Amino acid sequence: MEMQQKVSKNKLDTVLRYQRKHKATIVDYNFKPGRLVLMRNTRVEDSLDSKMEPRYLGPLVVIRRTKGGSYVLAELDGSIVGGTVAQFRVIPYHARHSVELPKKIHDLIDVSPQTLKELVDSDESVPTEYHYQTLGKKLYGVDQVRLQQSDTSGSDSDDSASEAEGYPQLNDNDSNSDEDNEVPITS
């Protein structure tokens, strides 16, 4: 019992020390519905050739905050941004000019209230249960791991050898050549 109290106290001390150290960077924005925000474009963080891509997308309108803290966002034309957006990806948008929004945000979006309620209740921004499958090979001293979402339907027997090795299958539409994307040169 005494050891548990020591461990709990050490955990709490570590959290408090972290909060003091990073006080300037830890911000909890609690955006209300109708607030204009920017969404971080995390797609460009991993690719090396995206130096000129926008770091933030928007402005977007906050529709609702879910129970888990993520947000349901919509474009200014009313289309919902796919799924829920994690809290760390959303920052405030400071408009140069005031932007008039309707009193009822639900008049702006093109989703039924029932679909919106299902989206908020599901809150699938962070899946909770994953199963890890090691692939057996070691690259640079680290096991390759494929992340699979739990599935109760069983395994598919159509998996190819390259999928079993952890490499994605190319579809007929996917190719690495730019033959289809060639633009005629005119002078």
Dihedral angle sign, alpha carbons of residues 167, 170, 174, 176: positive
Token pair 């920052």 is found at 91
The amino acid occupying position 72 is V
Confidence of residue 135 (pLDDT cuts 50, 70, 90): very low
pLDDT in tens, 87-110: 889 999 988 877 666 666 666 676
Handedness of CA 157, 159, 160, 161 (dihedral sign): negative
pLDDT higher than threshold 90 for residue 38:
yes
In this model, does residue 73 exceed pLDDT 60? yes
pLDDT score at 103: 66
